[in-house]
Copies of this chain bind each other. A is one copy, B any other.
Amino acid sequence: MKIGILGGGQLARMLALAGYPLGFEFVVLCPAADACAAPMSEHLCAGFDDSEALQLLASRVDRVTYEFESVPAETVEYLNDLVPVYPPPQALATSRDRLHEKKLFNKLGIDTAPFMAVESLDDLQQAAARIGLPAILKTRTLGYDGKGQQRLHEHSQLSSAWEEIDAAAAILEGLVPFERELSIIAARSLSGEMVFYPLCENRHEAGILHFSTSLQDDPMQELAEDYAQRLLEHLDYVGVVAIEFFQLDDQLLANEMAPRVHNSGHWTIEGAVTSQFENHLRAVAGLPLGSTELTGHSGMLNLIGELPDIDAVLAIPGAHLHLYGKAPQPGRKLGHITLCMNSEKKLKQALTQMPGI
């Protein structure tokens, strides 16, 4: 089976590396000439609005998937008439728009932080009065890694914040004094089979995921799986989804969903029997899903902006290096390291040797 991927970044790269052993081949559509999935796939270097390239892609593959949710809706609709696209376009449409996404969460009985739609400064002022400050103003679309977000602490900030986001449609969301940031990675196959990975705990820095740890028998696992199941079934979902939560006491507040493999699931490559990448491809290809059981205690550290001393990293037993083949640049995700150990104590010890923890 040949699988097309929209986007040629590290997620496409890791999908391809996970997919060859299953016998798949890959065609990546990405406008960047130096797409980091290019060396291990067939690369169509073209824009997502290039209908000739989309036709060529559709003619060369049996399925299309995508590695980022900002792929234009028109691209996916156009392709979906020619070849099956998974996860389904309705999941993409939902995740692209924070307002739709949060409304859907609430409709399905999934808790969220309080939020209100904001389409004008007037809306923003009313929302700030209703929800209270501090709160976060988020553009409805095109936000990732903390982009398109502003924290508001005082009412005097509202008008400049509204100017800053350039009058884009937005939501105001209450700032929750959460105890932990968690995420669940789940997968649903074409046949409706579902699997759920153990929750992981995430730490962000400057809005970018910095570190994730897999959790064993976490008390919030059952609720997270219940929420994920509601979402997957409602969307008639196919593929891997990630849902990020804030934990507040015994509540999980869904922050956002990503209809794709997710940075907080990279630890599954070594830390679970089947990786999120393999399970995404199994789902998309209509194959049985693989076990999500843990293989040990794992921690995943993103390498952002610059690379550590590679020799020192590789000398740590149980450290697994994943480089994305990108030139260093501030704020850029260049790779990640997963530590996978057979006890929590060993994981904690190994972490002390890691750069930037």
Residues of chain A having any CB pair with chain B under 8 Å: 13, 16-17, 20-23, 25-26, 39-42, 273, 282, 287-288, 290-291, 293, 295-296, 310-311, 314-315, 317-318, 320-323, 325, 335, 340
Contact = CB atoms under 8 A, between A and B. Distances in A.
Contact of A21 (B21, B288, B321): B321
Contacts of A25: 39, 325
A290 B314 contact: yes
Contact of A321 (B22, B293, B321): B22
Contact of A273 (B21, B317, B322, B325): B317
15 contacts: A16-B40, A17-B21, A17-B40, A20-B40, A20-B323, A21-B321, A22-B323, A23-B321, A23-B325, A25-B325, A39-B40, A40-B40, A40-B41, A288-B314, A290-B317
Given A22-B321, A321-B21, A310 B287 contact: yes
A267 to B, nearest CB: 14
A310 B1 CA distance: 13
A23 B309 CA distance: 13
A273 B318 contact: yes
Number of copies: 2
A16 B21 CA distance: 12
A111 B274 CA distance: 42
B317 A293 contact: yes
Nearest to A40: B40
A273 to B, nearest CB: 6
A20 B325 contact: yes
A211 B276 CA distance: 28
Contacts of A318: 273, 291
Nearest to A269: B21
Contact of A282 (B40, B288, B295, B314): B314
Nearest to A324: B23
B314 A287 contact: yes
A340 B272 CA distance: 12
B323 A21 contact: yes
A287 B311 contact: yes
A159 to B, nearest CB: 47
A268 to B, nearest CB: 13
Given A17-B17, A25-B39, 7 more contacts: A17-B21, A23-B323, A39-B42, A290-B314, A290-B317, A291-B318, A293-B317
